[in-house]
Structure 1
Amino acid sequence: MPELPEVAGLSAFLDTQLQGAVLTKVQIVSFAVLKTADPPYTALEGQEIIGVKRHGKFISLDASGVYLVFHLAKAGWLQYTESPTAARLRLGKGHIAARFAFLRGPEHLGVDLTEAGTRKSLAVYVVRDAQDVPGIASLGPDPLDSSFDGGTFAGILGSSSQQIKGLLRSQGVIAGIGNAYSDEILHAARISPFAIAKSLDSDSVQVLYDCIHSVLGAAVSDAVGKAPDQLKDVKRSTMRIHGRTGQPCPVCGDTVREVSFADTALQYCPTCQTKGKILADRRTSRFLK
């Protein structure tokens, strides 16, 4: 799933490429992705792109006061081309969910939103204000915003009985962090993913706060300036713990372990994060006996 750094990279790329371009044609290939009806998606056609912004894991394109907003969900991605085809796509066919054509001076540009797999959750919205999208309106603070200070973070953790892994991933609490970067942040902070948020002492809270900024900041720096077709490889190459089950921890050399759930999994290092204890590979237990 694209998370804050990749979405920041995509947003910056689209802002550079599309600002000043006119959105000339919209094709919604799978109407299941379109979550709004008013204004109609055709209201985007003929409008100039004023700018592109990131909201957590959402991206919004300001088309002269009409906003195209999308969320790539778990298996979605974005493809950009400077040689788009004029062929009309067949409804409900293939992996393309929506296609957008742009004209920037004499140049024709194209953007496809794609989704792999059978579980479709990519979402497209056409709204008069990005805050009209429920998922954006309910977002917690952005961890890279200047207003997200240590006191704010300490207050969030101090009032929560949630496991820290789940809290970091909760978009209504903190916007933009997902499964991969929460693994990376907790490993860098040497904190168990199953630790209860309010049980962390002040030193651990500060370390975790600092690691959120260092891990996400480095990832955003790596992502911004890259084309969409490069971002997935950039993400994979920078992961130190996530997706590396069975490999040695780059810090201590212990074997990276995994906890699997119904539709996801987390990775951690026992030596670095759980004092050598192996976490049970089931949701209801804390540790193997």
Structure 2
Amino acid sequence: MPELPDLEAVRRILNAEIGGAKIDRVHVMPPLSIRHPATAGALPNLAGDTLWRIDRQGKYLLFMFESDRVLAIHSMLVGRFQYCDRKERLKPGTCFAFDLKGEMQLRYFDSKMMGKLYLLEEGKLARIPRWNEMGPDALDEALTLDVFRSRVKRHAGQTKSVLTNDKFVAGIGNAYADEILWEAGVYPFWARTSLSDEEIESLYHAMKSVLSEAVETLTGRMKADISEEIRDFLKVHRKGGQPCPRCGSPISQVEANRKITNYCRTCQKG
């Protein structure tokens, strides 16, 4: 699943490439479903409009148009974006394509058709289900340590589950939760209520540094292909059995509810 660093890198790259571009034509490939309005037939109406910029909130990318319309996209598990020549072969599951200047296209593809797309007027994002329940973006400058500490104390459950709860902070998924917990030296299965103030502070600083560094890495490496998922630089996630970069102990791997958790039993003692 694309997480905050993946989507922030895509946002930065697309803003540099197509911010301010006019949409010449819109191609819609069935069975694309737009959840608001409830028909994909509204999407071609964006032809002739100008894409001012791309914003992001948590795991949503927000395509902001001159007409004050917003195309909000949550990619879910496998949704990806592609910026390429119009002549390039469509990837399986391509949902729509915007024709842009210079024979280029912006495409969105989703082989599982699980992504959530909403076309709304700017200022009406609250119509997206649970939008108003979303916590602050994990990289929002307004999310200070004091705010983080106050918010985390409202949530119970295992620490990793709290980190991936968008009602707490938005944008963190399974992969980067593992990275943050490892960086902070916090055991992923501890109850949140057992965390000390020092551990909460460590989590906060780890969250900011891990996500910020990942954004910079991905922005540099995804310029050639924004559809690519790059995770090889992660330190523990999907690295079960490999040596911990900090202490050399084997990375542990636990799978539950179809999700993998990786951590170091030495650095993150339970």
Same topology, TM > 0.5: yes
**Residue 76 of structure 1 aligns with which residue?**
79
Matched, 1:187 2:182: yes
Matched, 1:66 2:59: no
**Residue 5 of structure 1 aligns with which residue?**
5
Match of 1:97 among 85, 95, 98: 95
**Residue 278 of structure 1 aligns with which residue?**
none
**Residue 49 of structure 1 aligns with which residue?**
51
Aligned length: 264
Same amino acid, percent of matched pairs: 28
**Residue 227 of structure 1 aligns with which residue?**
223
Match of 1:250 among 228, 236, 245: 245
Whole-angstrom distance in 2 between the partners of 1:114 and 1:171: 24
**TM-superposition CA deviations, 1:150-190 (whole Å, max 9, x none):** 11111122232211101111112111111110000000111
Whole-angstrom distance in 2 between the partners of 1:157 and 1:62: 31
**C-alpha distance 270-231 of structure 1, shift in aligned 2 (>3 A):** farther
**Residue 139 of structure 1 aligns with which residue?**
134
**C-alpha distance 266-50 of structure 1, shift in aligned 2 (>3 A):** same
**Residue 160 of structure 2 aligns with which residue?**
165
- Compute the TM-score of the two structures, normalised by the length of structure 1: 0.84
Measured after TM superposition, the shift of residue 148 of structure 1 is 0.4
Residues 12, 224 of structure 1: 8 Å contact kept:
yes
Residues 38, 126 of structure 1: 8 Å contact kept:
no
**Residue 115 of structure 2 aligns with which residue?**
122
3-state SS of 1:236 partner:
coil
**TM-superposition CA deviations, 1:219-260 (whole Å, max 9, x none):** 112123442626746x42320000111111111111111111
Measured after TM superposition, the shift of residue 215 of structure 1 is 0.6
Whole-angstrom distance in 1 between the partners of 2:199 and 2:192: 10
**Residue 287 of structure 1 aligns with which residue?**
none
Paired AA for residue 14 in structure 1: L
Residues 241, 267 of structure 1: 8 Å contact kept:
yes
| Structure 1 portions without partners, runs of 5+ | 276-289
Measured after TM superposition, the shift of residue 100 of structure 1 is 1.8
Match of 2:169 among 156, 161, 174: 174
Whole-angstrom distance in 1 between the partners of 2:191 and 2:258: 22
Whole-angstrom distance in 2 between the partners of 1:246 and 1:124: 38
Paired AA for residue 126 in structure 1: L
Measured after TM superposition, the shift of residue 43 of structure 1 is 2.4
3-state SS of 1:217 partner:
helix
Whole-angstrom distance in 2 between the partners of 1:172 and 1:228: 34
**C-alpha distance 259-168 of structure 1, shift in aligned 2 (>3 A):** same
**C-alpha distance 164-228 of structure 1, shift in aligned 2 (>3 A):** farther
**TM-superposition CA deviations, 1:87-130 (whole Å, max 9, x none):** 9x8xxx93212222123xxx2220121223xx431122211126
Residues 240, 252 of structure 2: 8 Å contact kept:
yes
Whole-angstrom distance in 2 between the partners of 1:38 and 1:151: 41
- Compute the TM-score of the two structures, normalised by the length of structure 2: 0.90
Whole-angstrom distance in 1 between the partners of 2:160 and 2:98: 36
Whole-angstrom distance in 2 between the partners of 1:191 and 1:31: 43
Residues 72, 122 of structure 1: 8 Å contact kept:
yes
